[in-house]
A and B are shown apart, each in its own frame.
Chain A
Amino acid sequence: DVKVTQSSRYLVKRTGEKVFLECVQDMDHENMFWYRQDPGLGLRLIYFSYDVKMKEKGDIPEGYSVSREKKERFSLILESASTNQTSMYLCASSSLGTTIGEEAFFGQGTRLTVV
Chain B
Amino acid sequence: KNEVEQSPQNLTAQEGEFITINCSYSVGISALHWLQQHPGGGIVSLFMLSSGKKKHGRLIATINIQEKHSSLHITASHPRDSAVYICAVAPPLFSGGYNKLIFGAGTRLAVHP
Contact = CB atoms under 8 A, between A and B. Distances in A.
B41 A109 contact: yes
A101 B45 contact: yes
Contacts of A48: 99-100
Contacts of A45: 100-101
6 contacts: A42-B4, A42-B106, A43-B101, A45-B100, A101-B33, A101-B88
Q: How large is the interface on A (under 10, 10 to 19, 20 to 34, 35 or more residues)?
A: 20 to 34
Q: Which of B43, B44, B90, B98 has most chain A Cβ within 10 Å? A: B43
A25 interface: no
Interface in A62-115: 88, 90, 92, 94, 99-104, 106-109, 111
Contacts of B99: 31, 33, 48, 50, 94, 99-100
Contact of A99 (B31, B42, B43): B31
Interface of B: 2, 4, 9, 30-31, 33, 35, 40-45, 48, 86, 88, 90, 98-101, 103-106
Interface of A: 9, 31, 33, 39-45, 48, 50, 58-59, 88, 90, 92, 94, 99-104, 106-109, 111
B48 A43 contact: no
Given A43-B86, A99-B31, A99-B48, A88 B101 contact: no
Contacts of A107: 41-42
B100 A101 contact: no
Given A48-B99, A104-B44, A106-B44, A42 B86 contact: yes
A78 to B, nearest CB: 18
A58 B100 contact: yes
Nearest to A6: B41
